[in-house]
Amino acid sequence: MPELRSGVRRGRDPTVDQRRKTRGRGAKKSEPLVGNYIRTRAAVAKEAAKADAAEIGAKTRPVRPRTRLASRNRAKAPVIVISERDGESGREQFKEVSEKGEGGDRIANPVEEVRAESRRKEMMGDDSGGLSANKAGGQEEEGSTAPFPERVQVGGSPVYKIERKLGKGGFGQVFVGRRVSGGNERTTGPGAMEVALKFEHRSSKGCNYGPPYEWQVYNTLGGSHGVPRVHYKGRQGDYYVMVMDMLGPSLWDTWNSSGQAMSSEMVACIAVESISILEKMHSRGYVHGDVKPENFLLGQPSTPQEKKLFLVDLGLATRWRDSASGQHVEYDQRPDVFRGTVRYASVHAHLGRTASRRDDLESLAYTLIFLHRGRLPWQGYQGDNKSFLVCKKKMATSPEMLCCFCPPPFKQFLEIVVNMKFDEEPNYSKLISLFEGLIGPNPAIRPINTDGAQKIIYQVGQKRGRLTIEEEDDGQPRKKVRLGVPATQWISVYNARMPMKQRYHYNVADARLAQHVERGNDDGLMISCVASCSNLWALIMDAGTGFSSQVYELSPYFLHKEWIMEQWEKNYYISSIAGATNGSSLVVMSKGTQYTQQSYKVSDSFPFKWINKKWREGFHVTSMATAGSRWGIVMSRNAGFSDQVVELDFLYPSEGIHRRWDSGYRITSTAATWDQAALILSVPKRKPGDETQETLRTSQFPSTHVKEKWAKNLYLASLCYGRTVS
């Protein structure tokens, strides 16, 4: 086995594969010394970037106007606040153009553009593991030019001389520290001659509020089963420093040095011991958040700990259990937040859901399959939407397909963990028992020490471990959370209302639309909801809208900006929208709404960051639609909601919907592409007398079901056609 680990921290440089090709003893060199300090490659790179930026700045220096008149004319140039390019529009922006005549038409700084592009390329991730941390985390340490001290003494520790670099992570870098004087021959403990020194710069993201967050986690977990102990910690100069035991190679190093292949027994031993380490960590209220081969390390070679497995890098660990109340943390979803490593992250992590114990186990499943097969189907994706593509592929790859070249326990393990509920307690002994048949009977000759796993089985007993895969502990059939066949269906939402007249039309061609609308208007009905399927329209009209007047437009463009602005000037507001696969749209605008201001955005991906920004400004989502893969979101002020959340999924977010319902939210908007379904759930300021809400997913338009719902005073409130699960 290799003597030293490398690349064992999250957030490694995205071009990992190129570096991995040169791994090995011959490729490792000590960092160059500058005076009494170590000059890092990050410092050299920053100097080169400054030189490049200066050269670019010289070539792109803006031309100043030669006269005051030219300067004034330049200031009066027309400003376009609303652009087709970013797809955002709004009544408030239109008024800024017509009344103020000023805004943000400015030329971007070309130097900053080059730097931003460079950062984007660095952040794209690699073919090996993708991003670690919350996307930008890995760049914090690279930007630091503060030199590392040649010697370190913190928190009452001995003096250590810094030697070779072991690796770097999203927030820190790790070096070998050799004790200058004293010490003993032991390889571990505070008196060891060699230790691992983890440096984190005081300005890094993890140190915004003082010492690194990771210190707090190690205070709780350090020294427990499978987690290395921190002997000393403190600050020296610009760096926070942790002194830890030196460990050996990572599982990635071991896999790579073994010809990128591991035996079934080796991976099975890793599985049972990893589960035992996670069980101990979870029992103390934490989830790791970045389980992957690079974060599992063996003990130092040729020592009694060389077969012992450790889990390191706790910078992304979070609490699944509230430390004060002891209760499970609340469920939430923020689609703009990703934490972990793209290749191994759980689907829930990709979708921005609150981390829980199931996520560590799903990441472990991908780790085990990678170590056994040598590759995962979603490797190789690049670009800005890498996480989107990887998540989509993960959800589309069945356990049977993913584990087709693995022994049966791998598939059984994956099926269990991907179907766990958010707050479900894992049955660790059952998970461990799955792999026992692949492991030799003599623990002394196993490639990995499995003492921790054996303790769990003995403590819990074999009875729980022998439960069949498809049953709960009480013997009842287990309800699957995620497994299912992706399908394209109608999603319909029904609300309890006082008895009223409602009418629906579907498969309506463009030429027939006006006829249905006019007939409904004559009967006192107005459009409450529109949708599209196969370039044909679905139309819901009822007598309970409260609108006083209504206009609509069929347009070959997805949300025709000029027409919408024209109606805004007449005090109409968007009340419903639909988009067709061919890019056309149907926009309905009404008078008599409670809205006081409105804005919309068209985007090639679900624009959660924009939605979140608008939430902070007092807007709420009031309509959604898709046209092909494009999203159109309408947000309004004074929408009548006190809170609002998003549920976004590549299948159908059934668990999330039920959790939101339990918290008082109700679905108020739906939309779906061929890849994703999104539901907006809101808390109304004025609670309805009957809060009953039901949803249906049907392959055909739910005409029969609608009539059945009417009989129970449940009326269609929202409708879309797109990605679900059957």
User: How confident is the model over 33-60, as pLDDT tens digits?
Assistant: 444 444 455 554 556 656 655 555 554 4
pLDDT at 332 over 80: yes
Please give the helix or strand (H or E) that residue 683 lies within, else none.
Answer: strand 677-684
User: Do 286 and 208 belong to one domain?
Assistant: no
Among 195, 213, 244, identify where a domain stops: 244
Per DSSP, the residues of 49-61 read: HHHHHHHHHHHTP
Cross-strand bridge partners of residue 578: 586
Looking at residues 224-228, what average pLDDT do you find?
90
Pairing of strands 666-672, 677-684: antiparallel
pLDDT at 186 over 90: no
User: Do 227 and 318 belong to one domain?
Assistant: no
User: Do 207 and 230 belong to one domain?
Assistant: yes
pLDDT computed for residue 721 by the predictor: 96
Residue 445 belongs to some domain of the structure: yes
Q: Decide: 567 and 551 in contact? Cβ < 8 Å.
A: yes
87: left (phi over 0), alpha (psi -120 to 50) or beta: left
pLDDT computed for residue 612 by the predictor: 96
Binding residues: 198
Looking at residues 289-317, what average pLDDT do you find?
94
Q: What is the pLDDT of residues 94-151, one digit of tens each?
A: 333 333 333 333 333 444 444 444 444 433 344 444 444 443 333 344 445 688 999 9
The angle at the Cα of 216, spanning 213 to 222, to the nearest 5 degrees, equals: 125
pLDDT computed for residue 331 by the predictor: 96
pLDDT computed for residue 384 by the predictor: 84
- Sign of torsion over alpha carbons 171, 229, 8, 396: negative
Mean pLDDT over all residues of the chain? 82
Lowest mean pLDDT segment, chosen from 3-12, 581-590, 606-615 = 3-12
Catalytic residue (one of 126, 245, 253, 290):
290
Per DSSP, the residues of 391-429 read: HHHHHHS-HHHHTTTS-HHHHHHHHHHHT--TTPPP-HH
Helix and strand totals (H; E) in the chain: 21, 29
Binding residues for ATP: 198
pLDDT computed for residue 725 by the predictor: 78
Cross-strand bridge partners of residue 148: 38
CA 655 centroid distance within chain: 17
pLDDT at 160 over 60: yes
Among 218, 244, 270, identify where a domain stops: 244
Q: Which residues contact 340 (CB under 8 A, 6 or more apart)?
A: 132, 133, 289, 290, 316, 346, 349, 359, 363
Among 244, 278, 303, identify where a domain stops: 244
pLDDT computed for residue 506 by the predictor: 96
pLDDT computed for residue 124 by the predictor: 38
User: Do 528 and 411 belong to one domain?
Assistant: no
Looking at residues 225-235, what average pLDDT do you find?
93
User: Do 286 and 376 belong to one domain?
Assistant: yes
Taking Cα atoms as reference points, which of 382, 394, 331, 12 lies closest to residue 169?
Answer: 12
Q: 397 falls in which pLDDT band (50, 70, 90)?
A: very high
pLDDT at 8 over 50: no
From residue 39, how far is each of 13, 43, 144, 159, 236 by CA, in Å?
18, 7, 11, 20, 17
User: Do 720 and 691 belong to one domain?
Assistant: yes
User: Do 236 and 193 belong to one domain?
Assistant: yes
- Sign of torsion over alpha carbons 29, 34, 40, 43: negative
Lowest mean pLDDT segment, chosen from 22-36, 220-234, 249-263, 413-427 = 22-36
pLDDT computed for residue 533 by the predictor: 95
pLDDT at 698 over 90: yes
Residue 338 belongs to some domain of the structure: yes
Which tokens go with 364? 């472990």
From residue 227, how far is each of 222, 249, 282, 468 by CA, in Å?
6, 15, 12, 31
Q: 458 falls in which pLDDT band (50, 70, 90)?
A: low
User: Do 238 and 255 belong to one domain?
Assistant: no
Structural domain total, the chain: 3
Q: What is the pLDDT of residues 587-600, one digit of tens each?
A: 999 999 999 999 99
* CATH number of the CATH domain containing 392: 1.10.510.10
The angle at the Cα of 338, spanning 242 to 673, to the nearest 5 degrees, equals: 170
pLDDT computed for residue 28 by the predictor: 41
Which tokens go with 320? 């699944």
Please give the helix or strand (H or E) that residue 175 lies within, else none.
Answer: strand 173-179
Please tell me what DSSP assigns to residue 471: B
Tokens 């061919």, residue? 582
Please give the helix or strand (H or E) that residue 117 lies within, else none.
Answer: helix 110-123
What CA–CA distance (Å, rounded) separates 414 from 626? Answer: 33
Q: 204 falls in which pLDDT band (50, 70, 90)?
A: confident
Q: What is the pLDDT of residues 642-687, one digit of tens each?
A: 999 999 999 899 999 999 999 999 999 999 999 999 999 999 999 8
User: Do 577 and 716 belong to one domain?
Assistant: yes
Q: Which residues contact 661 (CB under 8 A, 6 or more apart)?
A: 681, 693
pLDDT at 400 over 90: yes
pLDDT at 383 over 50: yes
Sequence length of the chain is 726
pLDDT computed for residue 47 by the predictor: 61
Question: For this structure, is 523 an active site residue?
Answer: no
Looking at residues 73-82, what average pLDDT do you find?
40
Residue 569 belongs to some domain of the structure: yes
pLDDT computed for residue 541 by the predictor: 98
pLDDT computed for residue 191 by the predictor: 84
From residue 720, how far is each of 138, 323, 351, 485, 697 by CA, in Å?
39, 41, 21, 19, 10
Percent of the chain with pLDDT over 90: 64
What CA–CA distance (Å, rounded) separates 103 from 233? Answer: 51
Considering only residues 568 and 75, tell me which one the structure prediction assigns the higher pLDDT: 568
pLDDT computed for residue 494 by the predictor: 98
- Sign of torsion over alpha carbons 619, 621, 625, 626: positive
Which tokens go with 288? 């790791």
User: Do 627 and 528 belong to one domain?
Assistant: yes
User: Do 186 and 294 belong to one domain?
Assistant: no
Residue 73 belongs to some domain of the structure: no
pLDDT computed for residue 480 by the predictor: 56
pLDDT computed for residue 270 by the predictor: 96
Residue 473 belongs to some domain of the structure: no
- Sign of torsion over alpha carbons 259, 261, 267, 270: positive
Residue 686 belongs to some domain of the structure: yes
What CA–CA distance (Å, rounded) separates 398 from 557? Answer: 37
Which tokens go with 565? 């602005």
What is the pTM for the complete model shown? 0.78
Pairing of strands 33-34, 160-168: unpaired
Residue 697 belongs to some domain of the structure: yes
User: Do 231 and 264 belong to one domain?
Assistant: no
What CA–CA distance (Å, rounded) separates 72 from 67? Answer: 9
Q: Decide: 657 and 693 in contact? Cβ < 8 Å.
A: no
Q: Which residues contact 170 (CB under 8 A, 6 or more apart)?
A: 9, 10, 11, 132, 133, 137, 138, 140, 141, 206, 315, 316
pLDDT computed for residue 50 by the predictor: 60
Residue 446 belongs to some domain of the structure: yes
Question: Which range marks the domain in which residue 430 is found?
Answer: 249-462
